[in-house]
A = this chain, B = another copy of it.
């Protein structure tokens, strides 16, 4: 980092800054300009967040500029090759684009089985579905909880797709892991650090959604929590940001896909359904994501969206999803990739 001193900084204040840097085991290099003096900090300061805070609070300091990113284990500088996260037979982060689909919520045995069969038939290789649902209103459907997990497992047994589902809380984690192949950390929980540490310790595949007002740095630092506990199997997911226009529910940050892939070695998925909020905007957003280089998609599909207990307007009907997969196959090929398929012999 670089410490910019204030024009009024006294020699004593400057000396104190240098001392504080050296106390932290780093070098200090002064550079006297015409308008400002700056102090370069020499050494790997990526994990020295506390030093930065202290320097910023010192008298005589105008500001502190980070030169290195504050995350380390997730950075491509630390690990150049892309991480491939294996979930059952599915590999996320390889050359193939992975399509994950299923209903917003698990609502009944029939509904999840219908959905699972439909998304598999259309080409999805993983099944999604919420059993614990974080809902803005306490009067909304909150999920079937453990019963929902059981139904997901039943659907997996029938159709052979590995399952990803959300855990909202560290206490639910053990239960969720009893049934699921991959745990989703939802956008509202991206900075639930207790939960992040727990999934870090659990060493399970993790799908980490970016919060609707999270910077990319905050998102990568959230993933760093998981990796720092020893779990390298993290997949990032962009699902739209809070913005000021309400034609779509959130504003999909499609540019985040290549930026995250450049900054980090973790795979990057996109959830076009959350961002769209309306069924009709899902296909163009999904196509855009694959064209921008996303490693996969998370798409909401419901056998009967008009009867859905949550987010009906944004869930695709099975036929609409099948049409979309055809379009995605063409886009994937246009960018030199293919859609992932299940290995032959999957039930």
Contact = CB atoms under 8 A, between A and B. Distances in A.
8 nearest A-B pairs in the assembled complex, by CB-CB distance: A57-B312, A213-B213, A291-B291, A330-B334, A288-B288, A47-B139, A287-B291, A169-B194
A201 interface: no
Interface string A133-173: 01111111110000000000000000000000000111110
Given A57-B312, A188-B192, A248 B244 contact: no
Contact of A137 (B58, B221, B308, B312): B221
A22 interface: no
A143 to B, nearest CB: 11
Given A168-B193, A247-B263, A291-B331, 10 more contacts: A29-B33, A33-B67, A36-B67, A70-B137, A70-B139, A138-B225, A255-B275, A255-B281, A259-B281, A331-B335
Interface string A263-284: 1000000000001100111001
Nearest to A189: B192
A244 B215 contact: yes
A50 B140 contact: yes
A285 B292 contact: yes
Contacts of A189: 192
21 contacts: A36-B68, A49-B137, A50-B141, A50-B310, A53-B309, A53-B310, A57-B279, A134-B193, A136-B191, A169-B169, A172-B194, A188-B192, A215-B245, A243-B243, A245-B253, A247-B256, A254-B254, A287-B291, A291-B292, A327-B335, A334-B334
Interface residues of A, number: 111
Interface in A304-331: 305-313, 315, 327, 330-331
Given A34-B42, A54-B312, A287-B291, A259 B244 contact: no
A35 B1 CA distance: 10
